[in-house]
């Protein structure tokens, strides 16, 4: 197994998978796919992997170039890695890849690379769409190499839709990749450790604005010094000279299928405004669901929106923005762009507070509560936690609907199971007011509505998660072992000293 670099933060599972793949001596050409959004650390991780590997290795960083220019750059890198004569050129991509991977068309096998990483492969595929088919051919030929040589090929990219299409359906690489690894952003606790922020509210707001994308840390002078973000934002996300100011536009340009940028921007704006169902989104855009089906699928495949199903009701999907910085751009930057670009950040930030709290902080706090329930609640609920999501329940008597922020089922119980036990029902509130007994009574009412639909709530725990704590009356009332009050420090591990 390859030695883990001491400067690599987190990514234990990802490193273990890649190190095992790269160090294997199994004969033939082994292919791995690594995908993840921009700045999640793919390139950093893969370069560390190459540095730890033995034998000839190459990390080729693809760029947006014509096929001929891209081929020349690749040839130069391969020549350097293999010690070939300077100025070597290849007539075709097949010729270049055969040389790099040691799979000649005829004759004795040539000495190729032990490990080849092609970073941002989607750029090459856009210029030379034949590359996946060539790799299919070389993979199949390498199975019968007489020398038994072992070569590892890692294909990496930020365009999630392009990467997923490499090995699905009738794609050339289907069934040929041994590893399909996705690098997610850090969760909220890991992100706080990475940024070295100990104050829970500061850490939460940082996560609500930037999410867990580790690459953003290198783009700012440091984390906020306090929960008052005005000065910090003026130097970073609300600074027109900062790369982060235009990050949303850069992200949208990643996916080649997003030709009608105005349409995709409109969908993102509608979701950011709180339109979460296809019907609500369509009402803003003047489209029915059939007219939204394709663009929503593109946004989901590209990782811009998250589609989640109601835990209790089949066929009731809701959509949310996947990138906090996109939500922040829609809620804060777009409505106040003129003020920001006039460098009046203080006024813009003050005017944006209602939108920031309702469209950025609120949804992110609900998401954080679900992550805590799924990953960090431990044995609080007496049974292992399984599927966690949200749900909407109807109250016919009042002709209204109620959204439940946190719904957790016991491990092993799939969603939509009639009569299934419900482990947790919870509400997450990020307002400035401490939560009180009224909030508990509302949860009890929601529990009754869930029971009326036939679900088993006999062992259900009630969970209140609050950014601003709880009033004394609620603290006194919440002595039942099935009532759980979780404040912001507890979300960040204060109850376990982590």
Whole-number average pLDDT of the chain: 93
Strands (E), 24-147: 28-35, 57-61, 115-119
The CATH code of domain 377-491 reads: 3.40.1350
Residues of the chain with CATH 3.40.1350: 377-491
CATH of 12-182, one of 3.30.450.20, 3.40.50.300, 1.20.1260.10, 3.40.50.2300: 3.40.50.300
Residues of the chain with CATH 3.40.50.300: 12-182
pLDDT at 110 over 70: no
Q: Strands across the sheet with 177-182, in order?
A: 57-61, 115-119, 150-157, 28-35, 177-182
User: What is residue 495's predicted lDDT score, i.e. its pLDDT?
Assistant: 67
How far lies 43's CA from each of 183, 207, 265, 374, in Å? 11, 22, 28, 29
Q: Which residues pair with 182 in a beta bridge?
A: 35
Q: Strands across the sheet with 424-429, in order?
A: 385-395, 400-410, 424-429, 461-466, 483-487
User: What is residue 329's predicted lDDT score, i.e. its pLDDT?
Assistant: 97
Q: How does pLDDT run across 409-463, given as a tens digit for each residue?
A: 999 999 999 999 999 999 999 999 999 999 999 999 999 999 999 999 999 999 9
Q: Which fold has domain 188-367?
A: Arc Repressor Mutant, subunit A (1.10.10)
pLDDT at 108 over 60: no
Q: Spell out the alpha helix ranges (H) of 317-404.
A: 324-328, 337-341, 345-355, 362-371
What is the band of 497 on the pLDDT scale with cuts at 50, 70, 90? Answer: very low
Residues of the chain with CATH 1.10.10.10: 188-367
Task: Check residue 185 and report its DSSP letter.
Answer: P
* Spatial separation of the C-alpha atoms in residues 12 and 412, rounded to whole Å: 26
Q: How does pLDDT run across 364-415, given as a tens digit for each residue?
A: 999 999 999 999 999 999 999 999 999 999 987 878 899 999 999 999 999 9
What is the band of 288 on the pLDDT scale with cuts at 50, 70, 90? Answer: confident
Q: What is the pTM of this model?
A: 0.92
């Amino acid at each position: 197994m390859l030695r883990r670099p001491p400067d690599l933060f987190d990514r234990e599972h990802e490193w273990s998978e890649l190190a095992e793949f790269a160090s294997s001596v199994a004969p033939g050409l082994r292919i791995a796919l690594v995908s993840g959004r921009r700045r999640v650390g793919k390139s950093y991780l893969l370069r560390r992997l190459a540095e730890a590997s033995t034998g000839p290795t190459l990390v080729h960083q693809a760029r947006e170039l014509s096929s001929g220019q891209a081929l020349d750059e690749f040839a130069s890198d391969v020549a350097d890695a293999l010690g070939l004569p300077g100025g070597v050129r290849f007539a075709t991509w097949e010729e270049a890849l055969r040389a790099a991977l040691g799979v000649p068309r005829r004759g004795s096998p040539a000495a190729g690379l032990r490990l080849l990483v092609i970073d941002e492969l989607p750029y090459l595929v856009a210029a030379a769409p034949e590359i996946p088919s060539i790799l299919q051919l070389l993979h199949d030929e390498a199975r019968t190499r007489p020398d038994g040589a072992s070569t590892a090929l890692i294909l990496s990219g930020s365009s999630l839709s392009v990467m997923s299409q490499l090995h699905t359906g009738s794609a050339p690489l289907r069934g040929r990749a041994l590893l399909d690894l996705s690098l997610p952003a850090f969760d909220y606790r890991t992100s706080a450790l990475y940024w070295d922020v100990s104050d829970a509210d500061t850490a939460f707001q940082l996560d609500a604005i930037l999410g867990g994308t580790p690459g953003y840390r290198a783009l700012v002078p440091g984390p906020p010094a306090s929960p008052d973000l005005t000065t910090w934002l003026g130097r970073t996300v609300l600074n027109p000279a900062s790369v982060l100011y235009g990050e949303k536009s850069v992200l949208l340009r990643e996916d080649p299928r997003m030709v009608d940028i105005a349409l995709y921007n409109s969908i993102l704006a509608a979701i950011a405004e709180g339109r979460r169902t296809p019907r609500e989104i369509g009402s803003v855009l003047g489209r029915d669901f059939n007219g939204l089906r394709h663009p929503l699928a593109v946004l989901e495949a590209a990782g811009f929106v998250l589609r989640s199903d109601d835990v209790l009701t089949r066929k009731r999907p809701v959509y949310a923005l996947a990138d906090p910085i996109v939500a922040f751009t829609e809620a804060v930057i777009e409505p106040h762009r003129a003020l920001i670009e006039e460098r009046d950040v203080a006024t813009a930030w003050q005017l944006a507070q209602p939108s920031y709290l309702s469209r950025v902080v609120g949804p992110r706090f609900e998401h954080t509560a679900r992550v805590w329930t799924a990953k960090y609640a431990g044995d609080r609920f007496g049974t292992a936690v399984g599927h966690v999501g949200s749900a909407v329940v109807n109250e016919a008597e009042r002709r209204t609907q109620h959204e439940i922020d946190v719904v957790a089922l016991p491990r092993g119980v799939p969603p939509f199971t009639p009569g299934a036990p419900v482990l947790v029902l919870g509400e997450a509130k990020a307002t400035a007011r401490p939560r009180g007994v009224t909030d508990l009574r509302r949860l009890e009412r929601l529990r009754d509505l869930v029971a009326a639909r036939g679900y088993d709530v006999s062992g259900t725990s009630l969970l209140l998660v609050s950014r601003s704590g709880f009033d004394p009356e609620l603290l006194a009332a919440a002595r039942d072992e099935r009532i759980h009050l979780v404040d912001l420090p507890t979300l960040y591990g204060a109850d376990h000293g982590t």
